[in-house]
Chain A
Amino acid sequence: MASLVPCPHCGQRPKEEFTVKGAALARPTADASPETWFDYVYLRDNPRGLYDEYWHHTSGCRRWLVVTRDTATHEIEGVRDASAKKEAAE
């Protein structure tokens, strides 16, 4: 696990200040099939390499962040505010 997380609002902070929620996936539409929802809620890829995770800066700015982390090397490629991610997707 990465031990220093560069929060876009607070700067470098130790992982103890954060709560990890898990993979940041695109949410299916409300009318998507039960299979799609089951996949979204329960099934995870467990990739080797880079992937996006939701982290909450619980003991800092209390913002939800999207951390792009390498599961093999623990290196952090990028951190952005979760609200910024939504705008980028639109």
Chain B
Amino acid sequence: MTDFIIEHRAALGEKKSSSFMGVKLEVLPEGHVLHALAGSADGDLSGAIRTALGLEALAVRFVTPGQWFIVGDNALSHAELTGLADRLKPMVDIVDQSHGRIRIGLSGEKATAVLAKGTAADLALAAFPVGHATMTLIGHIGAHITRTGENAFELMVLRGFAESLWDELADMCAEFR
């Protein structure tokens, strides 16, 4: 039997962060993405999760009632992950999505204009303030959008769609080249 050495390849390994006129497309580190699921859809536990783990505001993002993504740039070891899950145990259950979801950064004064080409979600600052997050379609690809700044977004997409979404975003940025 042949022994295979498993080689980790970044989903966007062949892509380079690119700057256009007024918009920047960034490959973000494949750190950790944890899906936190509460037993009930009622109530907002994001504040309690942040307090329990001592996280900053943008690290815990709304997905759907009773579900959040816990996001960070550093990879977690198995021990760190179980420790973290234990600390959240009575409140939410954790599913590790670190290898399943890829983050892409989109920033700059034209970022909203670029994103608006692909999604029907209302991106106006009043309707989509900093820290707000939502699941939507970008073209035909399901993606999770978080506003990380007035002119900055983070997109999270299933790993297999990351390259397609990246190419679509690059096309959407093309007019600002």
Contact = CB atoms under 8 A, between A and B. Distances in A.
Contacts, number: 42
A62 B136 CA distance: 10
Contact of A12 (B41, B63, B122): B122
A23 B177 CA distance: 49
A9 B134 CA distance: 9
A83 interface: yes
Interface in B64-108: 64-65
A11 B64 contact: no
A51 to B, nearest CB: 25
Contacts of B127: 11
Interface in A72-90: 81, 83
B100 to A, nearest CB: 16
8 tightest A-B CB contacts, nearest first? A61-B64, A14-B120, A59-B137, A59-B142, A60-B135, A10-B134, A17-B137, A62-B64
Interface of B: 41, 63-65, 120-122, 127, 134-137, 142
